[in-house]
Amino acid sequence: RSNGRLPPHVYKAADDAYRAMIRGIEMSSAMKRGARARNRAAGQKKDDDFEMPTNQSILVSGESGAGKTVTTKIVLNYFAMLSRKTQEDHGQVPDEGKTSIEQQVLQSNPILEAFGNARTIRNDNSSRFGKYINIAFSGQGQLLRASIDTYLLEKVRLIHQTAGERNFHVFYQFLQAATEDERNEFL
């Protein structure tokens, strides 16, 4: 902060990445149209391949309890909102009976958290894993698909927890949902 700049803000970082991606897509499309017109005028059949950089990355890092999980949720919600707005701007009406890609991405997070988060001394919902989320957008800026790769960081937590800490949430959720007979069988 000594240089007079504020720390990065999650919405600003997400918006900057999204806008840079859209600018890259638009520039690439314009350059391809220009190349096709030049090639037609010159009697060439092959289009020149012009690709503007459209890939963007957002790295969310920090100490335990710093808000990485919440920040990731904010970014995903923001991208989902932008995607829905783009659909509406293009006159597309979402199919009410179908779960959108935005909803699928957002709904997967609790499942990932159940298998990868645990109570630690510093945080009741601490991520004990890393994740790489790859989101693909259409040329109009709509979410097309997403994939999530997870990297379990604390495999030892499965067999041993430090005093005052707990195992992954999924085990407690499983026991909570189990019948009395199932609990007796598993414990």
Count of all residues that appear for the chain in the document: 187
Residue-level pLDDT at 7: 78
Q: Which residues in the chain come in under a pLDDT of 70?
A: 1-3, 44-53, 94-98, 102
3-state secondary structure of 62: coil
pTM score over 0.75? no
The predicted structure's pLDDT at residue 98: 67
Residue 116 has a CB neighbour count (10 Å cut-off) of 23
Please state, rounded to an integer, the average pLDDT across all residues of the chain: 82
Residue 16 confidence (pLDDT)? 94
* pLDDT tens-place string over residues 106-122: 788 788 888 888 888 88
pLDDT value of position 14: 95
For residues 16 and 44, the answer to whether their CB atoms sit within 8 Å is no
